[in-house]
Amino acid sequence: MLKRWRERITPTDVVMWFIGGTLLLLMFWGSTATLIEGRYTSHHWFDFLIFGLAQGSIYALIAMGYTMVYGTLRMINFAHSEVFMSGPYTAYFVAAAFYSSGFLDRQPILSLIFIFLVSMATSTLIAVLLERIAYRPLRTAPRLVPLITAIGASFFLQYTFRGLYGSGFQAYPVVKILEGEWMFGVFRILKFQAVVIVAAALLMTALYLFVQRTRMGKAIRAVSEDKEISSLMGIDIDRMIVTTFVIGGMAAGAAGVLYAVMFKQVHFFMGFIPGIKAFTAAVLGGIGNIPGAMLGGIFLGLVESIGPSLFLDGLGIVAPYQLKDAIAFIMLVLVLIFRPTGILGERLAIKKA
């Protein structure tokens, strides 16, 4: 047993374990130092938690698109971040029109629903066009080819939207009923954060039920299991692939409005960072795995909002929040190295990746 182990270990493994161990040790040391120093009160931690949950549920919604497309096509839809951006950016003009006509204040719920619909429709349209024009002709091409196409499509879309809508930041109008806070005993929750969490949870449940319980969901799962055999079983592969893009686009469009509600602005470049984070979330949860993507998104959101204060503050690092994105990327790299199958993943990565 021991001998077998020793034969399988290569020098690179040792180096990797060394790096991983050091990072773990640093994390542990940092957290204990922070907690002992007692720099943050429980109120702070609760705020971090809620913010992390809200941000994480947005990541989770975007991650659905990555994970479903990966499941059916075995490719990273690099342009998904632009699918995410296109929705809220287009819906901004609807929101602005509602705001200036006063409709937003009179019928806030109705107009929010309408904004959601516009955003989801746009994102879905972009996702479907992307599939039809850029990805469908390349389904049998070598692996690198669709990935490069996706990168190209991502930049094309970004700068097309920049050309169409302009390069500045657009401030989303404030929805009055989402301002303010609720108090639960001593803890407070900002209203919009609560709304983001609840809306995202509802959407994710709906998507999960769709994929698990409906006939179409079953077909999608069959296609991601094995394309050839499912086509022999009479499933229209093309239609199912388009459906995954539609679902991913809808989720991304909804996530986009939630993002706009939270950060109150849209920009043509806004998709890039959330896109990579959401991909990280999808990998974290095990790519191709839908509940995994949700879990991964929320986990990443939490680590990002709590991590800098918890791990880094205790190490005496100045301005730890600047390193928030670095934490997310380090997580990504670590997961890819140590557990490429993710938290809930099957052993996809080695066989098919």
CA distances, 73 to each of 66, 143, 160, 240, 292 (Å): 10, 11, 26, 11, 18
The SS3 call for residue 266 is strand
In the complex, least distance from residue 143 CB atom to another protein, rounded to whole angstroms: 5
| C-alpha span between 263 and 251 (Å, rounded) | 18
Q: With contacts defined by CB under 8 A, name the span among 38-46, 120-128, 135-143, 212-220 that binds another protein.
A: 135-143
According to DSSP, the β-strands at 181-184 and 265-266 are unpaired
In the complex, least distance from residue 43 CB atom to another protein, rounded to whole angstroms: 26
In the complex, least distance from residue 90 CB atom to another protein, rounded to whole angstroms: 8
The SS3 call for residue 252 is helix
- What residue has token string 């209203």? 191
Burial group, residue 1, by CB count within 10 angstroms (0-12, 13-18, 19+): exposed
Q: With contacts defined by CB under 8 A, name the span among 49-57, 132-140, 194-202, 232-240 that binds another protein.
A: 132-140
For residue 75 the two structure tokens come to: 């490719």
302 touches another protein by CB under 8 A: no
**Which of 24, 25, 110, 148 is the binder for another protein (CB under 8 A)?**
148
Residue 173 DSSP label: P
Query: Considering CB under 8 A, how many residues would be counted as binding another protein?
Result: 57
| C-alpha span between 58 and 230 (Å, rounded) | 32
Select 186 or 319, whichever has its Cβ closest to another protein.
319
Q: With contacts defined by CB under 8 A, name the span among 27-35, 44-52, 137-145, 208-216 that binds another protein.
A: 137-145
Question: Dihedral of CA 158/159/161/165: which sign?
Answer: positive
Select 133 or 198, whichever has its Cβ closest to another protein.
133
Q: How many CA atoms lie within 13 A of 174 on its CB side?
A: 5
CA distances, 159 to each of 40, 47, 156, 167 (Å): 42, 36, 5, 9
**Which of 143, 213, 239, 347 is the binder for another protein (CB under 8 A)?**
143
Rounded to 5 degrees, what are φ and ψ at 327? Answer: -60, -45
CA-closest candidate to residue 98, choices 151, 159, 172, 157: 172
Select 168 or 180, whichever has its Cβ closest to another protein.
168
In the complex, least distance from residue 353 CB atom to another protein, rounded to whole angstroms: 6
Which 151-180 positions form the footprint of another protein (CB under 8 A)?
151-160, 162-167
1 touches another protein by CB under 8 A: no
Question: Dihedral of CA 111/89/250/254: which sign?
Answer: negative
Select 80 or 193, whichever has its Cβ closest to another protein.
80
Select 253 or 320, whichever has its Cβ closest to another protein.
320
β-sheet bridge partners, residue 266: 170
| C-alpha span between 231 and 237 (Å, rounded) | 6
In the complex, least distance from residue 246 CB atom to another protein, rounded to whole angstroms: 21
276 touches another protein by CB under 8 A: yes
> What does the per-residue mask of binding to another protein show for 311-340, with x meaning CB under 8 A?
------xxx--xx-xx--xx-xx--xx--x
| C-alpha span between 126 and 200 (Å, rounded) | 21
For residue 74 the two structure tokens come to: 């075995």
In the complex, least distance from residue 251 CB atom to another protein, rounded to whole angstroms: 20
In the complex, least distance from residue 155 CB atom to another protein, rounded to whole angstroms: 3
**Which of 4, 5, 12, 234 is the binder for another protein (CB under 8 A)?**
12
> What does the per-residue mask of binding to another protein show for 46-85, with x meaning CB under 8 A?
-----------------------------xx---------
Which residues contact another protein by CB under 8 A? 10, 12, 15-16, 19, 75-76, 93, 133-134, 137-138, 141-149, 151-160, 162-167, 276, 279-280, 283, 317-319, 322-323, 325-326, 329-330, 332-333, 336-337, 340, 349, 353
